[in-house]
Amino acid sequence: MSRPRILVTRKLPADVEARALSHFAATLNPDDRASAREDILANTQGKDGLLVTVTDRIDAALIAALPASIRIISTFSVGYDHIDVAAAQARGIAVTNTPDVLTDATAEIALLLILGAARNAASGMATLREGRWKNWAPTGMLGTELSGKRLGILGLGRIGRATASRARAFGMEIHYHNRHRLAPELEAGAHYHTDIASLFSASDVLSIHCASTPETRGLINRETIALLPHGAIVVNTARGDIVDDEALIEALASGRIGAAGLDVYNNEPNLHPGYLNLPNAFLLPHLGSATLETRNAMGFRALENLEVFFAGKTPRDLLHP
Ligand code: DGY
């Protein structure tokens, strides 16, 4: 039987591409051109499946224009907000993602952001690099200690729980809100809040771990920011569109929010320029899953989903309607 034909939209780690070439008739993107929708459409002709990433906007119009030969979209990401899953499923196209394998890497970045925001890492680094560090001062650049502080987790899923377990090691008390309370073994002593208002008012640090959905988009806004304790820290490793940038920038500038640690943004990579001049914004360029171990694992998982699908079986990460 001839090998399934797949389009891989971005350059992937070498071992992942080698496996793609050994299992599939794979079209790769060695120059890593950001794939414009015209490129995707032109290159999907004659293909059986797509391996896409968070940078590919697979909306309903693009899905409608895909050739009939496309039977599966496998995304190299845990998030699938860049894909109109309902439109794909309505066309009988299967969609899979890569959960689990990026949990630890993303939780590590969440901790980096929490620490960086709490301890003035952004302004400390700028002070050094710009030659402004004159001497050590007893009252200079004072941050906030994590020990004994309350960490509010919005979305205690896999990544939220991995973040919580690391934060416990720093002596933080864990609070969370999910639509449904978790079983005690998953809560691991975390305090459950039935609503956002209650969670926010109990969060010295708020870390966002929920998916981007119509319900969560813009959830961090002027009204909800006002619920946080004065000087609270906001950390986001989930998706940029959960935050109303204008509201957060205004709160950071006024000191209403003490600091923010952000890895994801609206309109990446063109984040709101207002963040860039804020000394209390510790910013990273969407590095959550950016380790070779994790990117390999994501690639192998995305390929495994394709292999299982084309073998006529149900991929373990199939998104169900
Ligand atoms: C994902 O997998 O959704 C991440 O945001 C990519 O780093």
Assess contact for 303 and 20: CB atoms under 8 A: yes
Across the range 122-137, mean pLDDT stands at 96
Catalytic status, residue 193: no
Which atom of ligand 1 is the closest one to the Cα of 238? 5
Per residue in 98-110, pLDDT tens?
999 999 999 999 9
Across the range 61-87, mean pLDDT stands at 98
Residue 250 C-alpha to ligand 1 middle, in angstroms? Answer: 27
Structure tokens at 125: 């680094």
CA dihedral 314, 78, 105, 146 (to 10 degrees): -130
| Beta-bridge mates of residue 7 | 27, 50
Amino acid identity of 18? A
Report whether residue 95 contacts ligand 1, using a CB cutoff of 6 Å: no
- Is residue 260 scored above 90 in pLDDT? yes
Give the Cα separation of 208 and 224 in Å (integer): 13
Which atom of ligand 1 is the closest one to the Cα of 298? 2
Residue 54 C-alpha to ligand 1 middle, in angstroms? Answer: 7
CA dihedral 77, 82, 87, 93 (to 10 degrees): -30
Which atom of ligand 1 is the closest one to the Cα of 80? 3
Characterise 86 by phi-psi region: left (phi > 0), alpha (psi -120 to 50), beta (else): alpha
Per residue in 170-229, pLDDT tens?
999 999 999 999 999 999 999 999 999 999 999 999 999 999 999 999 999 999 999 999
Residues 6+ apart with CB under 8 A from 30: 11
Assess contact for 82 and 58: CB atoms under 8 A: yes
Assess contact for 20 and 12: CB atoms under 8 A: yes
Across the range 15-19, mean pLDDT stands at 98
Which atom of ligand 1 is the closest one to the Cα of 97? 2
Helices (H), the chain: 14-23, 37-44, 60-65, 85-90, 103-118, 121-129, 158-169, 184-187, 196-201, 222-225, 245-254, 292-310
Per residue in 268-309, pLDDT tens?
999 999 999 999 999 999 999 999 999 999 999 999 999 999
Annotated catalytic residue within 173, 250, 268, 307: 268
In this structure, the strands spanning 205-208 and 150-154 are parallel
Atom 6, ligand 1: residue with shortest CA distance: 77
Instruction: Please give the distance of CA 270 from its chain centroid, rounded to a whole number.
Output: 16
Catalytic status, residue 286: yes
Catalytic status, residue 3: no
Count of alpha carbons within 13 angstroms of residue 112, beta-carbon side: 18
- Is residue 35 scored above 90 in pLDDT? no
If pLDDT is split at 50, 70 and 90, which confidence band does 1 have? low
Give the Cα separation of 90 and 92 in Å (integer): 5
Atom 3, ligand 1: residue with shortest CA distance: 79
3-class DSSP assignment, residue 207: strand
Report whether residue 260 contacts ligand 1, using a CB cutoff of 6 Å: no
